[in-house]
Chains A and B, each alone.
Chain A
Amino acid sequence: MKTYQTSRLAGQKSVLTRRTALKLAGGTFAASTLGAPALVRAQTGPIRIGHLTPMTGFLGTLGGWAVEGAQLAAKEINAAGGAAGRQIELMSEDSINPENGATKAQRMLERDGVDFLLGEISSATSLAISEVAARNEKLFVAVGPRSDVLRGERCSRYMFCTDIPNTAMVNAVGTSLKQDGMVDGKKFFTLTADYVFGHDLLAAAKSFFDANNAELIGDELIATDVTDFSPFILKVRQANPDVVCLNLAGNQVTNFVKQYAEFGLPYPMVGFNLNTADAWAAGVGNLSGTWPTVWLDSVETPESQAFVERFKAEYGKIPENHAWISYIAVQIVAKAIEETGSAATPELIDYLESGAKFDIMKARQAYFRPEDHQLIQEAYAFTVKDEGTYDDVYSMLQLDGAVPAPDAPLESIYPSVEGGACKF
């Protein structure tokens, strides 16, 4: 179809008429629907996983990490003989936005014959893909989105979430802030990403403030394409809070912290969402405060450190949290395939719901909660070291230890499933 358009624009007579183009397209479609042998082959051939993740837009800088982590996992699994004896084939594509993500998911399931879907970072796109997966009755492992609604009102029998939800991130940072006396009686000013993830995070933050006698004196919803935050920084100063708190996402965090450092306002900054890549991108001296994470390269288990080394050997750089979570997600589905001997959705769902434990390079093993399909695991808070006490951005973050504390049950930082909103 492209040939047709280009040559028309160039003002030349096209060799491809509208009619033949239509025929060609029709033929391709017929050939793909008639591709019955693919079904037979699928039982013994490679396992095809449709991997969608944003590679452009405000989350685009994170998607690259997700692809690298997932591809490394597939490579290692294949080198060790595959999952249940079958090779894993990852089809990684840019999901772009909810509309495109849903279209591509449908195409992957329908035409490319993938066995199931995996990936994503954006909560909005995940919701769109989840609907496609449910319609096609295929598994969707939502790797990176963090909105509580994906584990609540908008949960799905076909969707499993591997990253920590917003409530867990708020609790991870909140625990650390309470210890430092930065919550009780304090005035907070929040800046929130204006889409489902941000709204959800703000809701979690509000319940945390209410429960801990903190006051929310102002909140600004910020569109995801905003790159200049100076007007918002002026509003922060006008409100004169005790703490500035970020519920932003992706590039927004990097842009904000750089400009906040530029203005040099005195209010301490904390945040309920930060990816290591966004922290590194901020550069030396710009970032401060306490933040949550699902994993950091300084997690001190031998497995984590070995992963860092393998990732460095493959890509020549330290992995960030989206590389790790994507790696883990592929490992988890590979284990499920290995254990059930099948890549079929019903078997995989049964296995993942069974409470099977997974080694995810942390002190404690993880498992999916059958009630909401959330991967229950440790989270962490980290603090940015003072400027001048570290060499470069890679040694700038200080891990504060796992949350919850070793003697508390893992589920204590997650939203309760008792009377929860998730109904399959």
Chain B
Amino acid sequence: MQIVFLLEQVVNGLVLGGYYLLIALGLSLIFSVGGIVNLSHGAFYALGAYVFVQLSGTLGFTAAVAVSPIVVALLGILFERFILRRFYNEDPILSLLVTFGLALVAEQAIRMIWGAAPLPATLPSEIRGSVIVGNMLFSKYRLLMLLVIAVALGGIWLLLNRTSFGRVVRAGIQDPDMVAALGIRLQPYLTTVVMLGVGLAALGGAMFAPITTVHPAMGSEILTIAFVVVIIGGLGSFWGVVLAAVLVGVTRGVTIYFAPAASEASMYVLMFLVLLLRPRGLLGESIAKFES
């Protein structure tokens, strides 16, 4: 066993964690702010991939990666305005049902529009290949992806922590009634958060489309992992989700190094351990409105 090979898996796991993060962060944001467990989040990831494939023929690779999340984010506005908005103050079981139903409808809609067969998508040849740093192999494309994820993440963090928008959202997470008492309508903020959340998922879909199978059920494949990440990280915590995504990615990589057959089980074992020791998740906050 060479230590550098193990280290290589750890670093690769970090990169993979970044990709999980894109999906999980939006899921966590929508839950924290609106109290809605969005089971249709995977559908937006799939839509991101499909819109990317559709656009990449005419716009080219880079523009398609950039435009696809925007298109899906705009769909997110409709999603919030006409569906989610009715369920913020209802029994959570209703929003679970409606988003679950929407996930099924979206998958079938994709099947009707683009067909059941997977769509081909390819990386431009100049960003294929790998670089070797200190005898560790990195895919060029994944390094680029990591950069994009870091920028997106930084942007969201700044938005939530350094702007008045973020202050209202964070206050809304903790105590929506107090925000209302201060004369601030939370509605437009919720719309924006949902838009950002599904846009991030679509960015993940668009960036992963060239290196995974683009098929109608791809959304449900990713959703489970995203939930595991959110649960490990703890609800409402930005850094909790970041930490959990990286942990899941690294755990998976290291498990594949030592015991490949257990690779898919590893993240569930991790979730189990975290929930035993810290039922709220690693950095989960106590959110007043969910405590009862």
Q: Do residues A281 and B137 form an inter-chain contact, with CB atoms below 8 A? A: no
By a CB distance below 8 angstroms, the chain A residues around B62 are: none
Query: A303 on the interface (CB 8 Å rule)?
Result: no
- Tell me the residues in window 99-155 of chain B with beta carbons closer than 8 Å to chain A beta carbons: 115-123, 125, 128-130, 137, 139, 141-142
Q: Do residues B123 and A261 form an inter-chain contact, with CB atoms below 8 A? A: yes
Query: A106 on the interface (CB 8 Å rule)?
Result: no
Q: Please measure, in the bound complex, the distance between the C-alpha atom of A56 and the C-alpha atom of B217, giving whole angstroms.
A: 7
Query: Looking at the complex, which one of B122, B123, B128, B253 makes contact with A231 (CB distance below 8 Å)?
Result: B253
Query: A235 on the interface (CB 8 Å rule)?
Result: yes
By a CB distance below 8 angstroms, the chain A residues around B2 are: 238
What class of interface size applies to chain A in its complex with B? 35 or more
Query: B277 on the interface (CB 8 Å rule)?
Result: no
Closest Cβ of chain B to A53, distance in Å, is 12
Q: Do residues B213 and A281 form an inter-chain contact, with CB atoms below 8 A? A: yes
Q: Please measure, in the bound complex, the distance between the C-alpha atom of A261 and the C-alpha atom of B139, giving whole angstroms.
A: 10
Q: Please measure, in the bound complex, the distance between the C-alpha atom of A281 and the C-alpha atom of B15, giving whole angstroms.
A: 25
Query: A61 on the interface (CB 8 Å rule)?
Result: yes
Q: Do residues A254 and B213 form an inter-chain contact, with CB atoms below 8 A? A: yes
Please indicate which of the listed interface residues A11, A226, A231 has the most CB atoms of chain B within 10 Å of its own CB. A231
Q: Do residues A238 and B5 form an inter-chain contact, with CB atoms below 8 A? A: yes
Q: Do residues B213 and A251 form an inter-chain contact, with CB atoms below 8 A? A: yes
Q: Do residues B260 and A221 form an inter-chain contact, with CB atoms below 8 A? A: yes
Query: A338 on the interface (CB 8 Å rule)?
Result: no
By a CB distance below 8 angstroms, the chain B residues around A255 are: 211-213
Query: B263 on the interface (CB 8 Å rule)?
Result: yes
Query: A283 on the interface (CB 8 Å rule)?
Result: yes
Q: Do residues A285 and B125 form an inter-chain contact, with CB atoms below 8 A? A: yes
Q: Do residues A237 and B137 form an inter-chain contact, with CB atoms below 8 A? A: yes
Q: Please measure, in the bound complex, the distance between the C-alpha atom of A283 and the C-alpha atom of B5, giving whole angstroms.
A: 30
Task: Label chain A's interface by main secondary structure.
Answer: helix
Q: Do residues A61 and B256 form an inter-chain contact, with CB atoms below 8 A? A: no
Q: Looking across the interface, which residue of chain A has its beta carbon closest to that of B116? A: A64
By a CB distance below 8 angstroms, the chain B residues around A251 are: 118, 213, 215
Query: Looking at the complex, which one of A60, A234, A264 makes contact with B5 (CB distance below 8 Å)?
Result: A234
Inter-chain contact total with CB atoms closer than 8 Å: 127
Q: Do residues A61 and B215 form an inter-chain contact, with CB atoms below 8 A? A: yes
Q: Do residues A231 and B116 form an inter-chain contact, with CB atoms below 8 A? A: no
Q: Looking across the interface, which residue of chain A has its beta carbon closest to that of B128? A: A264
Query: Looking at the complex, which one of A65, A230, A283 makes contact with B12 (CB distance below 8 Å)?
Result: A230
Query: B264 on the interface (CB 8 Å rule)?
Result: yes
Task: Label chain B's interface by main secondary structure.
Answer: helix
Query: A79 on the interface (CB 8 Å rule)?
Result: no
Task: Encode contact with A along B221-261: 1 for CB under 8 Å, 0 otherwise.
Answer: 11000000000000000000000000000001100110011
Q: Please measure, in the bound complex, the distance between the C-alpha atom of A264 and the C-alpha atom of B126, giving whole angstroms.
A: 11
Query: B40 on the interface (CB 8 Å rule)?
Result: no
Closest Cβ of chain A to B12, distance in Å, is 5
Q: Looking across the interface, which residue of chain A has its beta carbon closest to that of B97? A: A9
Query: B291 on the interface (CB 8 Å rule)?
Result: no
Q: Do residues A281 and B119 form an inter-chain contact, with CB atoms below 8 A? A: yes
Q: Do residues A65 and B117 form an inter-chain contact, with CB atoms below 8 A? A: yes
Query: Looking at the complex, which one of B94, B123, B263 makes contact with A226 (CB distance below 8 Å)?
Result: B263
Closest Cβ of chain A to B65, distance in Å, is 15
Closest Cβ of chain A to B45, distance in Å, is 12
Q: Please measure, in the bound complex, the distance between the C-alpha atom of A210 and the C-alpha atom of B199, giving whole angstroms.
A: 52
Query: A142 on the interface (CB 8 Å rule)?
Result: no
Q: Do residues B128 and A262 form an inter-chain contact, with CB atoms below 8 A? A: yes
By a CB distance below 8 angstroms, the chain B residues around A60 are: 116, 215, 217
Chain A contact residues, CB within 8 Å of chain B: 9-11, 55-57, 60-61, 64-65, 194, 220-223, 225-228, 230-232, 234-235, 237-238, 251, 254-255, 258-259, 261-265, 277-278, 280-286, 317, 387, 393
Q: Which 9 A-B pairs have the closest CB atoms?
A: A283-B120, A281-B118, A264-B129, A64-B116, A231-B256, A283-B122, A254-B213, A251-B213, A223-B264
29 contacts between A and B (CB under 8 A): A9-B93, A56-B217, A61-B213, A64-B115, A64-B117, A221-B261, A223-B261, A230-B16, A231-B257, A231-B263, A232-B256, A234-B12, A235-B257, A238-B5, A254-B213, A255-B213, A258-B121, A258-B211, A258-B212, A259-B212, A262-B142, A263-B139, A264-B130, A264-B139, A280-B117, A283-B120, A283-B121, A283-B122, A286-B122
14 other contacts beyond A264-B139, A281-B214, with CB at 8 A cut-off?
A9-B97, A57-B217, A61-B116, A64-B117, A227-B222, A230-B15, A231-B13, A231-B263, A234-B12, A237-B137, A255-B211, A261-B128, A262-B141, A265-B130
